[in-house]
Amino acid sequence: MYGNIPYICVMSTKVARFDTRWTEEQKSLFERASKLGGFRSLSEFVFFAVQQRAEEIIEKHEQIISTKRDQEIFANALMNPPAPNSKLKKAAKRYLDIIEPDGLQNRASTVKS
């Protein structure tokens, strides 16, 4: 029987405490919102609201950072483009052959006449 009972590991979770001071008006507002929102306690409501807002702020900041980084990468690629490789050169030639099958000289001669 001993070998069949799994060991139960108790994980200790550290809890940090955060105290705040509110005006009576703020506390009344928060309590009302807590009740209307269906929260079990004011603490649960405050925890939920603060966590949700913190996640929104962090997500927005990370979007701005990535957007700025993307802009820098894009601008750098425009200002310092890499040299075309053989595949790009072949693609450009195929494109020009489709768009202007007779070449630029034929087009230039039709414009002069």
Q: Would you state the pLDDT for residue 7? A: 58
Written as six digits, the tokens of 102 are 């007779």
CA 76/CA 63 separation, integer angstroms: 20
Residue 85: domain span: 22-97
Task: Look up the CATH number of the domain holding residue 56.
Answer: 1.20.5
46: burial class by Cβ within 10 Å (0-12, 13-18, 19+)? middle
- Angstrom distance (rounded) from CA 64 to CA 46: 27
Q: ∠47-51-52 over CA atoms, to 5°?
A: 115
User: Does residue 36 lie in a domain region?
Assistant: yes
Residue 109 falls inside a structural domain: no
Q: Does 27 map to a domain? A: yes
Within-domain flag for 33: yes
**Residue 110 confidence (pLDDT):** 47
Number of domains making up the chain:
1
| pLDDT of amino acid 51 | 95
Q: For 56-106, how does the pLDDT look when each residue is reduced to its tens digit (9 = 90+)?
A: 999 998 887 788 888 888 889 889 998 999 999 999 999 998 988 776 555
Separation in Å, CA 28 to CA 4, 47, 48, 56, 111: 54, 16, 17, 25, 81
Q: Is 48 a domain residue?
A: yes
Could you read off the pLDDT of 7-41 as tens digits, one per residue? Answer: 555 666 788 888 889 999 999 999 999 999 999 99
Residue 64 placed within a domain: yes
Kindly state whether residue 58 falls inside one of the protein's structural domains. yes
